[in-house]
Chains A and B, each alone.
Chain A
Amino acid sequence: MRTEVPGYRDQRGPSHTGANRCNKTGSPVGLAPEPGPPPTEPCCHSRVLTALECCAPCDIVSLSCRYQDFHAFDLSGATRVLEWIGDKGVFVAEYESLKKNEILHLILPLRLSVKENQGLFPERDFKVCHGGFSDTSVFDLKHVPDTRLLVTTGLPGSYLHVWQITEDSDVIQAVSTIAVQEKEDSLWPRVAIFSSTTPGVLHGVRLSSLRVVDLESQKTTYTSGVSDSEELSSLQVLDTNTFAFCCASGRLGLVDIRQKWAPSESVSNGRGSPGAAGGRWCAEVGGKVRSPGPSVAILGSNGQLCLLDPRDLCHPVSSVQCLVSAPSPDPELLRVTWAPGLDNCLAISGFDGTVQVYDTTSWDGMGSQVEPLFTHRGHIFLEGNQTDTTPLVTTHTWHPHKPRTLLSAASDASLHVWDWVDMHASS
Chain B
Amino acid sequence: MPEIRVTPLGAGQDVGRSCILVSIAGKNVMLDCGMHMGFNDDRRFPDFSYITRNGRLTDFLDCVIISHFHLDHCGALPYFSEMVGYDGPIYMTHPTQAICPILLEDYRKIAVDKKGEANFFTSQMIKDCMKKVVAVHLHQTVQVDDELEIKAYYAGHVLGAAMFQIKVGSESVVYTGDYNMTPDRHLGAAWIDKCRPNLLITESTYATTIRDSKRCRERDFLKKVHEAVERGGKVLIPVFALGRAQELCILLETFWERMNLKAPIYFSTGLTEKANHYYKLFITWTNQKIRKTFVQRNMFEFKHIKAFDRAFADNPGPMVIMPGYCVQGTVGHKILSGQRKLEMEGRQVLEVKMQVEYMSFSAHADAKGIMQLVGQAEPESVLLVHGEAKKMEFLKQKIEQEFRVNCYMPANGETVTLPTSPSIPVGISLGLLKREMAQGLLPDAKKPRLLHGTLIMKDSNFRLVSSEQALKELGLAEHQLRFTCRVHLHDPRKEQETAMRVYSHLKSVLKDHCVQHLPDGSVTVESILIQAAAHSEDPGTKVLLVSWTYQDEELGSYLTSLLKKGLPQASS
Contacts and interface: CB of A to CB of B under 8 A. Distances in A.
Interface string A395-420: 00000000000000000000100000
A137 B401 CA distance: 17
Contacts of B312: 3, 5
B347 interface: no
Nearest to A132: B394
A71 interface: yes
Contact of A72 (B212, B226, B261, B311): B212
B555 interface: no
Contacts of A100: 401
Interface residues of B, number: 58
A172 B208 CA distance: 14
Given A120-B336, A170-B392, A171-B394, A52 B218 contact: yes
A5 B264 contact: yes
Interface string B312-333: 1111000000010000000000
A277 interface: no
B446 interface: no
A11 to B, nearest CB: 4
A375 B507 CA distance: 91
B210 interface: yes
Nearest to A16: B262
Contacts of B397: 131, 133, 171
A47 B258 CA distance: 10
A24 interface: yes
Contacts of B209: 125-128
A336 B215 CA distance: 29
A5 B259 CA distance: 20
B231 A8 contact: no
Interface stretch (A73-81, A230-238, A251-259): A73-81
A57 to B, nearest CB: 11
A74 B338 CA distance: 31
Nearest to A168: B390
Interface in B165-220: 206, 208-213, 215-219
User: Which of A20, A44, A76, A122: most chain B Cβ within 10 A?
Assistant: A122
A76 B368 contact: yes
Contacts of A74: 210, 213, 368
A292 interface: no
A4 B328 CA distance: 36
A35 B226 contact: no
Contacts of A117: 338
Interface stretch (B10-18, B31-39, B359-367, B422-430): B359-367
Contact of A119 (B254, B357, B394, B395): B357
A24 B358 contact: no
Contacts of A47: 226, 259
Nearest to A106: B210
A54 interface: yes
Contacts of A127: 208-210
A38 B401 CA distance: 53
A48 B260 contact: no
Contacts of A352: none
A311 interface: no
Interface string B243-279: 0000000010011011111111000000000000000
B310 to A, nearest CB: 10
B494 to A, nearest CB: 76
Given A125-B212, A169-B390, A33 B338 contact: no
A64 to B, nearest CB: 16
Contact of B223 (A23, A37, A48, A119): A48
Given A52-B219, A74-B368, A124 B258 contact: no
Given A37-B231, A117-B338, A123-B360, A24 B219 contact: no
Contacts of B208: 127-129, 170
Given A23-B257, A119-B358, A75 B314 contact: no
Interface string A177-197: 000000000000000000000
Contacts of B338: 117, 120
Contact of B311 (A3, A125, A131): A3
A54 to B, nearest CB: 4
A71 B209 CA distance: 14
Nearest to A69: B220
A102 B210 contact: no
Contacts of A33: 230
User: Which of B208, B227, B254: most chain A Cβ within 10 A?
Assistant: B208
Contacts of A54: 258
Interface residues of A, number: 69
B391 A170 contact: yes
Contacts of B356: 119-120
Contacts of A73: 210-213
B222 interface: yes
A70 B358 contact: no
Interface string A24-37: 10000100110111
A109 interface: yes
B355 interface: yes
A11 B262 contact: yes
Contacts of A384: 213
Nearest to B313: A3
Contact of A44 (B226, B355, B360): B226
B84 to A, nearest CB: 36
A51 B222 contact: yes
A265 B31 CA distance: 70
Interface in B340-357: 355-357
A10 to B, nearest CB: 5
B232 interface: yes
B231 A38 contact: yes
B371 interface: yes
A35 B223 contact: no
B393 interface: yes
Nearest to A23: B258
Given A48-B226, A55-B255, A8 B392 contact: no
A53 B255 CA distance: 10
Interface in B261-317: 261-264, 311-315
A24 B258 contact: yes
Contact of B367 (A72, A76, A129): A76
Contacts of B393: 169-171
B399 to A, nearest CB: 12
A40 to B, nearest CB: 12
A21 interface: yes
Contact of B260 (A23, A120, A129): A23
A120 B261 CA distance: 27
A63 to B, nearest CB: 14
B398 interface: yes
B394 A32 contact: no
Nearest to A73: B210
Given A51-B255, A51-B259, A130-B394, A124 B212 contact: yes
A2 interface: yes
Contacts of B401: 100, 133
A35 B231 contact: yes
A376 B536 CA distance: 110
A35 B232 contact: yes
A12 interface: yes
A7 interface: yes
A1 B360 contact: no
A45 interface: yes
B212 A8 contact: no
Contacts of B226: 44, 47-48
Contact of B258 (A51, A70, A129, A131): A51
A370 interface: no
Nearest to A55: B254
**3 closest residue pairs by CB, A with B:** A131-B394, A122-B360, A72-B213
24 contacts: A5-B312, A8-B263, A21-B260, A23-B259, A35-B231, A38-B227, A38-B230, A44-B226, A49-B219, A51-B259, A52-B218, A56-B215, A72-B212, A74-B213, A109-B212, A119-B358, A124-B217, A128-B209, A129-B208, A132-B394, A168-B390, A169-B394, A170-B390, A171-B394
